[in-house]
Structure 1
Amino acid sequence: MNRWLLALPLAVFGIGGIGLYILFLSQANENAFQENLLPELIGFCLEGFFLVGLFTFIQQLRDYYRRRELWMSLRSALRDFLSHLDLAFLAPDAEPATTAALESEPFVVSKLLTLLADAELGIETLINLKQAAVSTLPLARDLINIAAQLSTRHMRCWIAIVAAIDQLSVADTREQAERPLNELLVRLAEFDSLKL
């Protein structure tokens, strides 16, 4: 609905300018009033069309960047989890993923999901993940309202992520830790797939 309201002035100025231009061409030599007024009206319509279009584009661009910043703030809250998992599955001669990749690249999450399904995590990694869950849980809960600003689907995914972090923070056995960890990654992959 919002896009249609933004496109309405563009349509009015565009159709008005085209209509006045056709009127100018069909009656160009009838009188001096039309010769002086119609070009001015056509110029006004063209200016309105380009100015409204330009301001609409700038507003949409600003809105996209604001939503992208909100998304990045949510994703960066989970950097510790992804970092611990990345290090746990790291080959001896491989480089760990960069901070930027951990915070913004969806392929990292899908890669970790695949590795988690194929391998078993060590006890030290599980302890580190539980500690990360305990320290991240209050921040993740506070960020629910940020996720709600993106969309209802983003908020639902984030609530499921917070629930998985909560379960991981109280886990006492390997099974209790691996189930919410897998759920966290699945929900994070779903969160990444949603449009901004």
Structure 2
Amino acid sequence: MIMPRAAGQLLLPANPWFIGFTLVAALMIDMVPAGRLAAMPDVLAVVLVFWGVHQPRRVGVLWAFVFGLLIDVHDGALLGQHALAYSGLSFGAITLHRRLTWFPLGAQAVQVLPLFLAAHALALIVRLLVGGMWPGWTVLLAPLLEAALWPVASVLLLAPQRRAPDRDAHRPL
């Protein structure tokens, strides 16, 4: 099998503790009471999509649903609003996971943008159906910022897997 251009280096297996730590850290970042703006990017959504693409057997739709319920409870939103959006987001990421890693990071960001747009649209539709207020047109900035965070998240979250499996002073990698 020919190696993808984007995967120029073989990666070590992802540590399940690191995956759990990054998901909980993203949850904590989303729970910071910074006056939740409509344009604020959802860091947990970016991390869920990342692990859904790179580790689809470990982080799937069930984990996305659970984290969505936690965000719903924290935000005081309609129970299931974020859970539904995160579940759809995770399903889309798992669907794209084989194809997405063949592209460079910029092209990956363009391809995950529709996932983020669809997740925000789904959450917004549910919110409006139950009588919520329109958050304004700045809500369109959040998916763009999340897609812009994709290359940063990819570099940071893949960094522990890029180290040499057997460190040696005579063999720099």
Q: Which has the larger radius of gyration?
A: 1
- State the structure with bigger RCO (CA 8 A, min sep 6), 1 or 2: 2
Same fold? TM cut 0.5: no
What TM-score, normalized to structure 2? Answer: 0.30
Normalising by structure 1, report the TM-score. Answer: 0.28
Considering fraction of residues, name the structure with more helix.
1
